[in-house]
Amino acid sequence: MNEVRQNGNGAQPAIVVRDLKRRFGQQQVLNGVNIDLPTGEITTIVGPSGCGKTVFLKHLNLLLRPDSGSIVIDGADVTKLGTRGLDGVREKFGMLFQAGALFDSMSVFDNVAFPLVEKTALSRSEIRDRVLSGGMQKRAALARALVRRPKILMLDEPTTGLDPTRTHSIHALVRETQSKFDLTAIMVSHDVPQVFEFSDRVAYMHLGKIELFGTVKEVMASDNPNFRQFLAGRSTDEEERPLSQVIATPGR
Protein backbone atom coordinates (compact mmCIF):
# COMPACT_ATOMS: atom_id res chain seq x y z
CA MET A 1 0.00 0.00 0.00
CA ASN A 2 1.22 3.44 -0.85
CA GLU A 3 2.07 5.80 1.98
CA VAL A 4 -0.89 7.87 3.21
CA ARG A 5 -0.23 11.54 2.46
CA GLN A 6 -1.40 14.52 4.47
CA ASN A 7 -2.99 17.54 2.86
CA GLY A 8 -1.62 21.05 3.02
CA ASN A 9 -3.17 21.60 6.46
CA GLY A 10 -1.49 18.52 7.92
CA ALA A 11 -4.77 16.60 8.21
CA GLN A 12 -5.08 12.95 7.33
CA PRO A 13 -6.99 12.22 4.11
CA ALA A 14 -10.74 11.88 4.50
CA ILE A 15 -10.80 8.85 2.19
CA VAL A 16 -7.92 6.62 1.11
CA VAL A 17 -8.50 4.41 -1.94
CA ARG A 18 -6.08 1.67 -2.96
CA ASP A 19 -6.13 -0.53 -6.10
CA LEU A 20 -9.94 -0.36 -6.45
CA LYS A 21 -11.28 -2.61 -9.21
CA ARG A 22 -14.75 -3.33 -10.53
CA ARG A 23 -15.87 -5.21 -13.63
CA PHE A 24 -19.32 -5.32 -15.20
CA GLY A 25 -19.59 -8.21 -17.60
CA GLN A 26 -16.65 -8.00 -19.98
CA GLN A 27 -15.88 -4.36 -19.18
CA GLN A 28 -13.28 -3.43 -16.56
CA VAL A 29 -14.78 -0.11 -15.42
CA LEU A 30 -12.46 0.53 -12.46
CA ASN A 31 -8.96 -0.72 -13.15
CA GLY A 32 -6.92 -0.06 -10.02
CA VAL A 33 -7.94 3.35 -8.65
CA ASN A 34 -5.52 4.91 -6.14
CA ILE A 35 -6.15 8.29 -4.52
CA ASP A 36 -5.99 10.10 -1.17
CA LEU A 37 -8.96 12.50 -0.96
CA PRO A 38 -7.97 15.45 1.25
CA THR A 39 -9.95 16.49 4.30
CA GLY A 40 -11.70 19.86 4.17
CA GLU A 41 -11.20 20.45 0.44
CA ILE A 42 -13.14 20.18 -2.81
CA THR A 43 -11.77 17.49 -5.10
CA THR A 44 -13.30 17.45 -8.58
CA ILE A 45 -13.13 14.27 -10.65
CA VAL A 46 -13.10 14.79 -14.41
CA GLY A 47 -12.57 12.67 -17.48
CA PRO A 48 -14.19 11.49 -20.71
CA SER A 49 -17.62 9.92 -20.77
CA GLY A 50 -17.38 6.27 -19.82
CA CYS A 51 -14.12 6.53 -17.89
CA GLY A 52 -15.70 5.36 -14.61
CA LYS A 53 -16.25 8.63 -12.71
CA THR A 54 -19.80 7.97 -11.52
CA VAL A 55 -19.14 4.29 -10.80
CA PHE A 56 -16.15 5.35 -8.70
CA LEU A 57 -18.30 7.85 -6.78
CA LYS A 58 -20.90 5.16 -6.13
CA HIS A 59 -18.16 3.03 -4.56
CA LEU A 60 -17.09 5.93 -2.36
CA ASN A 61 -20.62 6.45 -1.08
CA LEU A 62 -21.05 2.69 -0.59
CA LEU A 63 -23.81 2.15 -3.15
CA LEU A 64 -21.56 -0.31 -5.00
CA ARG A 65 -19.05 -2.88 -3.75
CA PRO A 66 -15.68 -3.37 -5.48
CA ASP A 67 -14.37 -6.65 -6.78
CA SER A 68 -11.09 -5.91 -4.99
CA GLY A 69 -9.18 -3.08 -3.37
CA SER A 70 -9.82 -0.94 -0.30
CA ILE A 71 -11.63 2.25 0.70
CA VAL A 72 -10.55 3.54 4.11
CA ILE A 73 -12.76 6.10 5.86
CA ASP A 74 -11.96 7.19 9.42
CA GLY A 75 -9.46 4.34 9.71
CA ALA A 76 -11.88 1.59 8.66
CA ASP A 77 -11.78 -0.33 5.40
CA VAL A 78 -15.45 -0.01 4.46
CA THR A 79 -15.17 -2.72 1.80
CA LYS A 80 -15.01 -5.23 4.66
CA LEU A 81 -18.01 -3.90 6.62
CA GLY A 82 -21.40 -5.57 6.87
CA THR A 83 -24.76 -3.86 6.43
CA ARG A 84 -24.87 -2.39 9.94
CA GLY A 85 -21.35 -1.06 9.69
CA LEU A 86 -22.04 0.48 6.29
CA ASP A 87 -25.14 2.22 7.63
CA GLY A 88 -23.00 3.84 10.32
CA VAL A 89 -20.48 5.11 7.77
CA ARG A 90 -23.26 6.43 5.50
CA GLU A 91 -24.32 8.71 8.32
CA LYS A 92 -21.18 10.74 7.56
CA PHE A 93 -22.23 11.37 3.94
CA GLY A 94 -24.43 13.81 2.10
CA MET A 95 -25.10 12.97 -1.56
CA LEU A 96 -26.34 15.06 -4.48
CA PHE A 97 -27.22 13.06 -7.60
CA GLN A 98 -27.44 14.33 -11.16
CA ALA A 99 -31.22 14.64 -11.22
CA GLY A 100 -31.51 15.80 -7.62
CA ALA A 101 -33.42 12.61 -6.64
CA LEU A 102 -36.24 14.69 -5.18
CA PHE A 103 -39.73 13.31 -4.56
CA ASP A 104 -42.19 14.87 -7.02
CA SER A 105 -45.07 14.42 -4.60
CA MET A 106 -43.38 16.49 -1.87
CA SER A 107 -42.87 20.21 -1.49
CA VAL A 108 -39.34 21.64 -1.42
CA PHE A 109 -39.59 21.91 2.37
CA ASP A 110 -40.69 18.28 2.78
CA ASN A 111 -37.97 17.04 0.40
CA VAL A 112 -35.28 18.76 2.45
CA ALA A 113 -36.83 17.68 5.75
CA PHE A 114 -37.26 14.05 4.68
CA PRO A 115 -33.97 12.68 6.12
CA LEU A 116 -34.65 14.39 9.46
CA VAL A 117 -38.20 13.03 9.67
CA GLU A 118 -37.05 9.51 8.78
CA LYS A 119 -33.76 9.32 10.69
CA THR A 120 -34.01 11.59 13.73
CA ALA A 121 -36.31 12.31 16.67
CA LEU A 122 -36.27 16.07 16.11
CA SER A 123 -39.51 17.94 16.62
CA ARG A 124 -41.25 19.65 13.71
CA SER A 125 -40.10 23.05 14.97
CA GLU A 126 -36.50 21.83 15.23
CA ILE A 127 -36.71 20.42 11.73
CA ARG A 128 -38.14 23.70 10.46
CA ASP A 129 -35.18 25.57 11.93
CA ARG A 130 -32.74 23.35 10.07
CA VAL A 131 -34.42 23.21 6.68
CA LEU A 132 -33.09 25.66 4.13
CA SER A 133 -35.53 27.47 1.87
CA GLY A 134 -35.17 27.80 -1.89
CA GLY A 135 -37.19 27.23 -5.03
CA MET A 136 -34.64 25.61 -7.31
CA GLN A 137 -34.51 21.83 -7.51
CA LYS A 138 -30.71 21.73 -7.35
CA ARG A 139 -30.61 23.99 -4.31
CA ALA A 140 -33.29 21.90 -2.63
CA ALA A 141 -31.38 18.70 -3.35
CA LEU A 142 -28.19 20.24 -1.97
CA ALA A 143 -30.07 21.44 1.10
CA ARG A 144 -31.38 17.93 1.71
CA ALA A 145 -27.88 16.47 1.33
CA LEU A 146 -26.62 18.91 3.97
CA VAL A 147 -29.46 18.96 6.46
CA ARG A 148 -28.00 16.21 8.67
CA ARG A 149 -24.66 17.99 8.86
CA PRO A 150 -22.50 15.40 7.06
CA LYS A 151 -18.71 15.41 7.18
CA ILE A 152 -18.38 14.40 3.53
CA LEU A 153 -20.41 15.75 0.61
CA MET A 154 -20.48 13.87 -2.70
CA LEU A 155 -21.86 15.46 -5.84
CA ASP A 156 -22.48 13.66 -9.12
CA GLU A 157 -22.70 16.18 -11.99
CA PRO A 158 -24.65 18.71 -9.87
CA THR A 159 -25.10 21.18 -12.75
CA THR A 160 -26.48 18.81 -15.38
CA GLY A 161 -29.16 20.56 -17.43
CA LEU A 162 -28.38 24.07 -16.19
CA ASP A 163 -27.43 27.07 -18.31
CA PRO A 164 -23.99 28.70 -17.76
CA THR A 165 -25.29 31.35 -15.37
CA ARG A 166 -27.05 28.85 -13.12
CA THR A 167 -24.10 26.47 -13.40
CA HIS A 168 -21.78 29.16 -12.05
CA SER A 169 -24.29 29.90 -9.28
CA ILE A 170 -24.45 26.26 -8.17
CA HIS A 171 -20.66 25.91 -8.21
CA ALA A 172 -20.36 29.06 -6.10
CA LEU A 173 -22.99 27.70 -3.71
CA VAL A 174 -21.07 24.43 -3.35
CA ARG A 175 -17.87 26.34 -2.58
CA GLU A 176 -19.65 28.61 -0.08
CA THR A 177 -21.30 25.63 1.60
CA GLN A 178 -18.07 23.62 1.76
CA SER A 179 -16.25 26.52 3.33
CA LYS A 180 -19.02 27.37 5.80
CA PHE A 181 -19.39 23.82 7.11
CA ASP A 182 -15.73 22.78 6.64
CA LEU A 183 -16.81 19.85 4.49
CA THR A 184 -14.80 17.40 2.49
CA ALA A 185 -16.40 17.50 -0.97
CA ILE A 186 -15.91 15.09 -3.85
CA MET A 187 -17.56 16.22 -7.07
CA VAL A 188 -17.86 14.57 -10.47
CA SER A 189 -18.22 17.25 -13.13
CA HIS A 190 -18.26 17.74 -16.89
CA ASP A 191 -17.97 21.54 -16.60
CA VAL A 192 -14.30 21.71 -17.55
CA PRO A 193 -12.40 23.93 -17.03
CA GLN A 194 -15.02 26.25 -15.48
CA VAL A 195 -15.45 24.07 -12.39
CA PHE A 196 -11.73 24.37 -11.59
CA GLU A 197 -12.37 27.92 -10.31
CA PHE A 198 -14.25 26.37 -7.40
CA SER A 199 -12.01 23.32 -6.82
CA ASP A 200 -9.00 22.78 -4.58
CA ARG A 201 -7.80 19.66 -6.35
CA VAL A 202 -8.52 17.87 -9.60
CA ALA A 203 -8.41 14.14 -10.35
CA TYR A 204 -8.32 13.19 -14.02
CA MET A 205 -9.68 9.72 -14.70
CA HIS A 206 -8.72 7.69 -17.77
CA LEU A 207 -9.42 4.04 -18.58
CA GLY A 208 -10.66 3.32 -15.06
CA LYS A 209 -7.66 4.83 -13.24
CA ILE A 210 -6.75 8.17 -11.69
CA GLU A 211 -4.08 9.21 -14.16
CA LEU A 212 -3.46 12.72 -12.84
CA PHE A 213 -4.11 14.29 -9.43
CA GLY A 214 -3.04 17.51 -7.77
CA THR A 215 -3.96 21.10 -7.11
CA VAL A 216 -5.71 22.96 -9.91
CA LYS A 217 -2.48 24.78 -10.72
CA GLU A 218 -0.47 21.54 -10.83
CA VAL A 219 -2.99 19.74 -13.02
CA MET A 220 -3.41 22.62 -15.44
CA ALA A 221 0.37 22.82 -15.81
CA SER A 222 0.67 19.10 -16.55
CA ASP A 223 1.84 17.95 -19.96
CA ASN A 224 -0.01 14.63 -19.61
CA PRO A 225 -1.07 13.99 -23.23
CA ASN A 226 -4.41 12.37 -22.39
CA PHE A 227 -5.39 15.26 -20.14
CA ARG A 228 -4.30 17.86 -22.69
CA GLN A 229 -6.32 16.04 -25.33
CA PHE A 230 -9.30 15.88 -22.99
CA LEU A 231 -9.09 19.61 -22.31
CA ALA A 232 -8.95 20.29 -26.02
CA GLY A 233 -12.20 18.40 -26.45
CA ARG A 234 -10.77 15.75 -28.74
CA SER A 235 -11.74 12.12 -28.59
CA THR A 236 -9.42 9.67 -26.86
CA ASP A 237 -9.06 5.91 -26.95
CA GLU A 238 -11.49 5.90 -24.01
CA GLU A 239 -14.69 3.90 -24.31
CA GLU A 240 -17.15 6.68 -25.14
CA ARG A 241 -20.51 5.00 -24.64
CA PRO A 242 -22.34 6.14 -21.49
CA LEU A 243 -22.06 3.92 -18.43
CA SER A 244 -25.87 3.78 -18.37
CA GLN A 245 -25.53 1.37 -21.31
CA VAL A 246 -23.18 -0.82 -19.30
CA ILE A 247 -24.79 -0.79 -15.86
CA ALA A 248 -28.02 0.38 -14.30
CA THR A 249 -26.61 2.81 -11.77
CA PRO A 250 -28.36 2.57 -8.37
CA GLY A 251 -29.54 5.64 -6.54
CA ARG A 252 -30.87 7.40 -9.65
Q: Are 192 and 204 in contact (CB under 8 A)?
A: no
Q: So what's the pLDDT on residue 187?
A: 92
Residues of the chain by 3-state class (helix, strand, coil), percent to 5: 35, 25, 40
Q: Is the pLDDT of residue 34 over 80?
A: yes
Strands 209-215 and 201-206: antiparallel
CA distance 85 to 128: 30
HSE-CB of 16 using CA atoms within 13 angstroms: 16
Tell me if 153 sits within 8 A of 94, measured CB to CB.
yes
Q: How far is CA 216 from the centre of its chain?
A: 17
Lowest mean pLDDT among 97-111, 133-147, 163-177, 180-194: 97-111
pLDDT of residue 108: 57
Q: What is the pTM of this model?
A: 0.73
Top CATH class of 15-92+150-245 equals: alpha beta
Q: What is the pLDDT of residues 204-237, one digit of tens each?
A: 999 999 999 999 999 999 999 999 999 988 444 4
**C-alpha–C-alpha distance, residues 18 and 34, integer Å:** 5
DSSP string, 63-126: SS--SEEEEEETTEEGGG--HHHHHHHHTTEEEE-TTTT--TTS-HHHHHHHHHHHH----HHH
Query: According to CATH, where is 3.40.50.300 located in the chain?
Result: 15-92+150-245
pLDDT digits (tens, 9 = 90+) for 80-96: 888 788 877 877 777 76
Percent of the chain residues past pLDDT 70, beyond the cut: 73
